[in-house]
Amino acid sequence: MAPACPFAARAVARKAIPNTGGSLSLTATTTPTTVPERSFADLGVAPTTLTSLARIGIEHPFPIQTLCLPLALAGVDLIGQARTGTGKTLAFGVPIVQGIEKDEPNVQALVVVPTRELCLQVAGDLEAAGRDTGVRVVSVVGGRPLGPQIVALSEGAQVVVGTPGRLLDHLRQRNLDLSGVRLLVLDEADEMLDLGFLPDVEAIIRATPEHRQTMLFSATMPAAVVALARRYAKRPTFLHAEAGQDATVPATKQYFFQVHPLDRFQVLCRILDAPARDRVAVFRRTKRGVDRTIKGLLDAGYKAGALHGDLPQVTREKIMRAFRKGKLDVLVCTDVAARGLDIAGLSHVINYDTPEDERAYIHRIGRTGRAGAAGVAVTFVAWNETDQAELIRRRLDQAGEPMPEVYSTSQLLVDMFDLPSKEEAAASRSPRRERQPAAEAGAPQRAGERAAKPAARRRRRRHVAAPKPASHSSSSPSAAAGA
């Protein structure tokens, strides 16, 4: 039996009331109310869906699911807000898989997400939740060939999960028909606005019927998202789980360290040597920063992989599979992974560069401490990032917490993370020197370095270059290779 949800005690529901001008005004109960612990069956989840959820170890609902499911299953438009890692996907996923008419092959539900990684994760979650109902889910993301996606859509996709750009590609080429959509979900809507997807999202919404159910979900809810809901949802109900609580998960320990820029990489290595850590996500602000960091980690013997927007989609998926399976235990990434990275065993998040604001910080450290698990979040603060870090801490009510100055030689790191000596740590990494190729880890190829040609190809070229005998030419190695 899975443990009961540790957050199931507090939640708040906010309901929409009409303004005199015809727009919507959201009112809220500011005092959290106690929500009785209920099972998925109590919330209206069908037996077949219960079986699918139990198969993947999900037996107790989170607060956002407890609040959303009865209303979502009744067809109410929703705006759902909850801390990252607390089950928003199933809050809209269960109503989707239960509302599909199995005999109708057309697209009946559409989920729009900001990033490719989140798209693949949501599609996988929906497939798992609807395994016993036979729902057909298709994901469409950029960076992949259009052909296989066209085939999958033409074979009768009932649920489509996609990124805005690729969804528009299929709409313009008439590969995707959204005229039968009954349920529209915008997941991580604030991120789509931040990335400049608003015109694309609105074009996609206009391709769906007006008489549909609309749901928006996110960990943060800026005014622009509420305005979007007012334009396209019908009297939406605003549901906010754990209102009045911290924006971050209490089980995640958070540390801010003042670190000298020239010593930052060595401090990172020292924390990665912690014996109690599992998998770690290291966030850099730029793609070049990711490339520099991953090269240093690979040279030092760490099992690390890179993830950023310039990598081919096939490479990104390969890195994510290796990270999920534990073949890699350090992922160096830009904020492209801050949305949608849901990895069991991700024990640490390290902000190598201080995040731009508290929203970016919340989404980054939300990759650990998920589903009630404990986590550790470490943020490095350079001398020119102090004001930025203090603003984040002040907005998250952490301004009174200490921000010690540390170096890679500091005893504070040893005591805090129970670190071995540098020599012991280096010796433990020495077997890892025989590691995956740099290209496989997503690292850039060194300047002037040429990829080694396969030995068979080199031998074949030598044979081709050799003078052929005047006779018996048909038995030459090149002829044999072509036979």
Residue 428 pLDDT: 85
148 lies in the same domain as 188: yes
In a domain, residue 447? The reply is no
Task: Using the predicted structure, report yes or no on whether residue 220 has a pLDDT greater than 60.
Answer: yes
Residues pairing with 204 in the sheet: none
Task: Using the predicted structure, report yes or no on whether residue 46 has a pLDDT greater than 50.
Answer: yes
Tens-digit pLDDT profile for residues 350-372: 999 999 888 888 888 877 766 55
Task: Using the predicted structure, report yes or no on whether residue 139 has a pLDDT greater than 90.
Answer: yes
In a domain, residue 104? The reply is yes
Task: Using the predicted structure, report yes or no on whether residue 437 has a pLDDT greater than 60.
Answer: no
Choose between 241 and 201: higher pLDDT: 201
In a domain, residue 468? The reply is no
141 lies in the same domain as 262: no
Task: Using the predicted structure, report yes or no on whether residue 96 has a pLDDT greater than 70.
Answer: yes
| Mean pLDDT confidence for 89-115 | 93
Alpha carbons 173 and 175: distance in angstroms, whole number: 5
34 lies in the same domain as 166: yes
In a domain, residue 303? The reply is yes
Task: Using the predicted structure, report yes or no on whether residue 20 has a pLDDT greater than 60.
Answer: no
164 lies in the same domain as 312: no
**Least confident stretch, 143-147, 168-172, 257-261:** 143-147
Choose between 245 and 441: higher pLDDT: 441
**Least confident stretch, 55-69, 99-113, 260-274, 363-377:** 363-377
In a domain, residue 225? The reply is yes
230 lies in the same domain as 85: yes
Task: Using the predicted structure, report yes or no on whether residue 6 has a pLDDT greater than 50.
Answer: no
In a domain, residue 456? The reply is no
| Mean pLDDT confidence for 115-141 | 91
Task: Using the predicted structure, report yes or no on whether residue 292 has a pLDDT greater than 70.
Answer: yes
Residues pairing with 255 in the sheet: 378
Contact 158, 104 (CB under 8 A): yes
Residue 360 pLDDT: 84
Question: Domain span at residue 354?
Answer: 252-433
| Mean pLDDT confidence for 273-286 | 92
Domain boundary among 241, 275, 295: 241
In a domain, residue 348? The reply is yes
307 lies in the same domain as 390: yes
Tens-digit pLDDT profile for residues 164-173: 999 999 999 9
**Least confident stretch, 37-41, 122-126, 258-262, 405-409:** 37-41
User: Quick one: which of 283, 281, 278 has its CA closest to 345?
Assistant: 278
Residues pairing with 81 in the sheet: 218, 240
| Mean pLDDT confidence for 30-41 | 61
For 277, the token pair is 């850590």
413 lies in the same domain as 328: yes
In a domain, residue 374? The reply is yes
169 lies in the same domain as 234: yes
Task: Using the predicted structure, report yes or no on whether residue 438 has a pLDDT greater than 80.
Answer: no
Alpha carbons 183 and 96: distance in angstroms, whole number: 7
- Give how far Cα 409 sits from Cα of 260, 264, 414, 421, Å: 12, 12, 9, 10
- Give how far Cα 180 sits from Cα of 110, 234, 334, Å: 10, 18, 37
Model confidence band, residue 457 (pLDDT cutoffs 50, 70, 90): very low
Tell me how many domains the chain contains.
Answer: 2
If one counts every other C-beta atom within 10 angstroms of the C-beta of residue 68, the result is 31
Alpha carbons 124 and 106: distance in angstroms, whole number: 20
Torsion of CA 325, 331, 334, 336, to 10 degrees: 10
If one counts every other C-beta atom within 10 angstroms of the C-beta of residue 356, the result is 12
Mean pLDDT of the chain: 80
297 lies in the same domain as 213: no
Model confidence band, residue 250 (pLDDT cutoffs 50, 70, 90): low
User: What's the CATH code of the domain at 398?
Assistant: 3.40.50.300
Choose between 401 and 176: higher pLDDT: 176
72 lies in the same domain as 164: yes
Task: Using the predicted structure, report yes or no on whether residue 472 has a pLDDT greater than 80.
Answer: no
Residue 215 pLDDT: 95
Tens-digit pLDDT profile for residues 294-348: 999 999 999 999 998 888 888 988 998 899 888 999 999 998 766 666 777 788 9
**What's the whole-model pTM score?**
0.69
Dihedral sign, Cα of residue 53, residue 55, residue 60, residue 63: negative
Task: Using the predicted structure, report yes or no on whether residue 198 has a pLDDT greater than 50.
Answer: yes
Domain boundary among 215, 241, 267: 241
User: Quick one: which of 216, 198, 178, 183 has its CA closest to 100?
Assistant: 183
368 lies in the same domain as 277: yes
User: Quick one: which of 367, 325, 363, 362 has its CA closest to 349?
Assistant: 367
225 lies in the same domain as 263: no
Choose between 103 and 112: higher pLDDT: 112
Contact 142, 62 (CB under 8 A): no
For 264, the token pair is 């930052």
Task: Using the predicted structure, report yes or no on whether residue 381 has a pLDDT greater than 60.
Answer: yes
Domain boundary among 184, 213, 241: 241
